[in-house]
Every structure is written in structure tokens, then in C-alpha cells.
Amino acid sequence: MSPAVGRGTIYLYLQFLSSIITGYIFWIFITKFTTTETIGNFALVISLSEIFANIAIMGIPDGIQRFLAKSFSEKKLRDAKVFVKISLIFLSIGIVSSSTLILIFSGWFLNTFGIPLNFIIIIDLLLVSYATYLVLYSIVIASLKTKVLPIIIIVSSGSRLVVGTILVLMDAGIFGLALGYTFLGHTLSSILLAVVIIKLVKVSESNKNADVVGIKFASKNLLTAGVVAWIPNLITTVGLELGTLVVFGTQGPDQSGVYFIVITLVSGINSILYSLFTIALPVLSSMLDGRKRFAWETIRMSSIIMMPISSSLIFYAKDIMQLFSPSYVEGALSFQILLLSVFPATVAAGVETLVYSYGHYRRSLAITIVMNLPRAILYFILVPNYGVTGAGISYTIGALIGFGMSVIVAKRIPMKFAWKNLLLVLVIPMAINFLVAALHITYIIGIPSTLIISYLILIKLKIFTRSDVIYLIELLPYRISEPLLRRLAKIEKAFGKFYD
């Protein structure tokens, strides 16, 4: 991994972490002042808006990264500017079309979910803000200039945290949650991202006479790559959000509220995982050699980062859910089951990103369909009888089937895996957490302890190597990395035999 890629990933981690932390603080606070029914109604609105937002974007975020990454890397800013303009035109068309669909289906929404007209207006507003944010965000990612993202997210998250909390405390209910927390956050982020993009595509005087890609060529290629990515992304979104919709429709808003908190927790954890794959797509798309090796390293590092965390949360699921309120403890089993999907999802995401970067769209689509179609079918079978637990089982089974398909695709490429190392990364944290939980150690001590022990053992077994540690530290800003490297040198001197 190049330093530029690594730093881009670090800034993405900081962005996701800041978003996750502010989000968790908000929900821990809000769930103590609102009912599960209010959270459930909010979950319904969010799920529908995200499905229609993914219809509106027409796969632009993935499609544009394939072309913008190359334009930015080759300093062809005029080409980049053309692709950005075309993507915004397609986005506008998609938003209008998707909003029209919502109005067409408004009667069905009313009969099926009891959604009144004012809820439809909220869904439209959230659709516009979320779709715009996704496209602008993908443009910044393609440039690999991700240093601004943590700042943008901190500003927007902090603002929506304050405004959303005030509106909820003023008894604004679902309107406070939707407009104050979600709409404001996406809108403010989009404005800040737009400012960054304008600076990114600003063409200097020396480049104004350079050859520029044709509008017809850009439109055709962007639309082709976008549509190819559009279907898998839409299937993935439906596979994720359909669980909330089926729980709401069969179990009511209270159970939907519980499941929303559970899936929000898991989605937050997965967002850390996908930060590597988000930055990997434009990088892989611009590479000529070494793609498989790069994809494997991405999967390996993602597994090393994610498995100790997810394993700890599995054994302390009830304690985590208790942080919200006693009403959400019943979602602990579903939370545990959903956490089991992290490892297979890591492998599947890595392989899917790789084959998409090659332009093997059918294989990418195959992984997505095989993962999400069984998941969607199982929602209707298991949720009516098992509620939020059934939704968790359906989601995880889909991840396991997708994992199996990704292994088959990897063999066809062919791509090699060090399965022994991945198995150890999976088993070691689980074993340590099982022991710690058996000793009834509180989660406040148990979670950080198991993380430290897990990483020490992985280092000793040379699965998480010294070079990995140094590389990650060196990606940090100098004022942080330099003292950490000095401290690491002292630790190595004191415990040198540990690395032998």
C-alpha cells in the first residue's frame, strides 16, 4: 500500500470514527427520552429514504470513481471537471425520477405502513440530501484527498447532534430526528464537500488549452459503469433496509425501533471495515499490476482490525444494549448474530471490490445477488415468527452465502488466500473473549483487555507484523507518529524477545 493510499485510509478511519462516536452518543442519549415506537417510525422513514436515494444515484458513486481516480492521478483536471458535471446532471435526473416514484407509491405506503403525507415529504427531503451527499462524497474519495473528511464530518455531526437533541427535547418526535439530525447532517456535509470539490477541479491557466474528454464519451462511460454498479448497490441496500421494513410491517414500530438500534450499531462497525474498501476501489481501478496482492492485504488488515472488536462485542452484547435503555436489551441476541456476519462480509467485500475494479461486472453482481437475495427471502420467512432475532439470522445467513460465492469467484480469478492466518485472526479473539466472559469480568475492563491480548498474540504469531504496526503509525501526522515510534522502540528494547 502506498503512503498516499494509507494516509487516505487513516483519514477515512478518523471520519468514520468521529461519525460513529457522535452517532452512538446521540442514540444513547435520545433513547432515554423517546419511546421505541418513535425510533421505529424514524427507522421506517430512514429505510425508505435510503432505498429511494440509491435508486436516484444510479450507481454514480462507484462509476465515477473508476474514471475520476485516473483523471486526478494523471492531473487531468479538465477531464475530472467534465465527469463531475455529468455526474451532477445524472444525479438531478435521478432525484426527480425517484421523488416521482415515492409520490406514485404514496398510497401503497399509506395502506401498508400507515405513512401519512407529512412523512412522505420527510422521505423526499432525506432522499435529496442523502443522494447528494453520496455523490459528492464519492468524488472526494476518488481524488484521495481525504484529509478534509474528518473535519467535515466533525462539523456536520456536531451540528446535527446539537440541533437534533434540541428538537427531540422540544417534543418534535420523528420530525426532530429526521430533519434536525439526519437532513441537517447530510445537507451541511454536502455544502462543505461541494466547496472542496470546486477547489479540486479548479483548472489552472496552463491546463486550459489541454485536450479534454468529450461530453458524449464521459456520459456513456459514466452511465455504463454506474448502471453496472447501480444494481448491486441497490440490491445491497434493499437487503439491509428490508429487514427494518419487514420487522415494522409484521412486528410493529416498537420492535422496529429495537432492530434499528441493533442494525445501526452493526452498520457503524461495518463502516470502519468498509473504509479500507472505499479507498481501495479508486486505487485498484488505477493500478496496472499487483491488484490481487493489494486486495488480499486489504482483506487481511480489515480482518485484523475488525475481528477483535466484533468478538468482544458479541460476548458483551447485553451490556452494550443496556447502555441505551432496558427496552433494547431484547435485541442483544440479534446483535450477537449480526456481529457474526462481520468476518464473511470482510472477505466478500474484498473480492467484490477487486473484480469490479477489473471490470468483471457479472462476477461482482453474482456476489451481491447471492448474498442479498436469500437474505431478502428469509426476512419474510423468519421475521414474522422470530422478530428481530429472525432479521439478524436472515442477514447473517446472507453474508455467509455471499462469502461462499466470493471464495468461488476468487478461485476463478485466481486469487490466493492465506486461510490459516485468517482463521487464526477469527479464532484467537473469540477464544480470549470466551475466557474473559467466563470469568465474569466487566465489559469496561474486558473489552480493552481482550483487544490488547489479541493483538499481542497476533504480533507474536507474526500475523500482525512489526512492519504493519510501524506502517500504520507512520501514516499518522508527524507530531503523533514520531513520539509513538520512540515509545515503540523502547517497548521493543524492553521486550525484544517477544518478537523472536
The per-residue pLDDT string of the chain (500 residues; one tens digit each, 9 = 90 and over) reads: 445 555 556 666 667 777 777 778 888 888 888 888 889 999 999 999 999 999 999 888 877 777 776 677 677 778 888 888 888 999 999 999 999 999 898 888 888 888 888 888 889 999 999 999 999 988 888 777 777 887 888 888 888 888 888 888 888 888 888 888 788 888 999 999 999 888 887 754 445 545 566 788 778 878 877 777 788 788 888 888 999 999 999 999 999 999 999 998 898 888 776 666 666 655 665 566 778 887 888 888 888 888 998 999 999 999 999 988 888 999 999 999 999 999 999 899 889 888 887 878 788 889 989 999 999 999 999 999 999 999 999 999 999 999 999 999 999 988 888 889 899 999 999 999 999 888 888 989 999 999 999 988 988 888 887 777 776 665 555 566 677 677 767 666 655 555 55
- 427496552: which residue's cell? 327
Domain identity same for 219 and 341 = yes
Q: What distance separates the 2 farthest-apart alpha carbons in the chain?
A: 71
pLDDT at 204: 47
Q: Which residues contact 198 (CB under 8 A, 6 or more apart)?
A: none
Q: What one-letter code names the amino acid at 127? A: L
Q: Has residue 500 been placed in a domain? A: no
Could you give the 3-state DSSP secondary structure of residue 334?
helix
Count of domains in the chain? 2
pLDDT at 377: 93
Q: What is the Cα–Cα distance from 260 to 44, expressed in whole angstroms?
A: 9
Q: What one-letter code names the amino acid at 281? A: L
Helices (H), 201-290: 215-251, 253-286
Q: Find how far residue 79's CA is from the centre of its chain.
A: 28
Domain identity same for 412 and 484 = no
Domain identity same for 324 and 283 = yes
Q: Which residues contact 97 (CB under 8 A, 6 or more apart)?
A: 55, 56
Contact 102, 51 (CB under 8 A): no
Contact 39, 247 (CB under 8 A): no
Q: What is the Cα–Cα distance from 450 to 44, expressed in whole angstroms?
A: 36
Contact 226, 234 (CB under 8 A): no
Domain identity same for 249 and 335 = yes
Domain identity same for 365 and 481 = no
| Entry pTM | 0.81
Q: Which of 439, 462, 482 is the last residue of a domain?
A: 439
Q: What is the Cα–Cα distance from 55 to 161, expressed in whole angstroms?
A: 28
Contact 275, 16 (CB under 8 A): yes
Q: Has residue 318 been placed in a domain? A: yes
Helices (H), 442-499: 443-460, 466-474, 478-494
Q: Has residue 208 been placed in a domain? A: no
Q: Has residue 312 been placed in a domain? A: yes
Domain identity same for 470 and 324 = no
pLDDT at 206: 46
Peptide bond into 282 cis (omega under 30): no
Could you give the 3-state DSSP secondary structure of residue 166?
helix
Q: Which residues contact 92 (CB under 8 A, 6 or more apart)?
A: none
Domain identity same for 276 and 163 = yes
Q: What is the Cα–Cα distance from 83 to 96, expressed in whole angstroms?
A: 20
pLDDT at 429: 92
Q: Has residue 169 been placed in a domain? A: yes
Q: Has residue 126 been placed in a domain? A: yes
pLDDT at 5: 53
Domain identity same for 479 and 350 = no
Domain identity same for 455 and 430 = no
Q: Which of 423, 439, 455 is the last residue of a domain?
A: 439
Give me the domain span that covers residue 468: 446-491
Q: What is the Cα–Cα distance from 16 to 306, expressed in whole angstroms?
A: 14
Q: Has residue 499 been placed in a domain? A: no
Domain identity same for 101 and 244 = yes
What would the grid cell of residue 163 be? 440541533
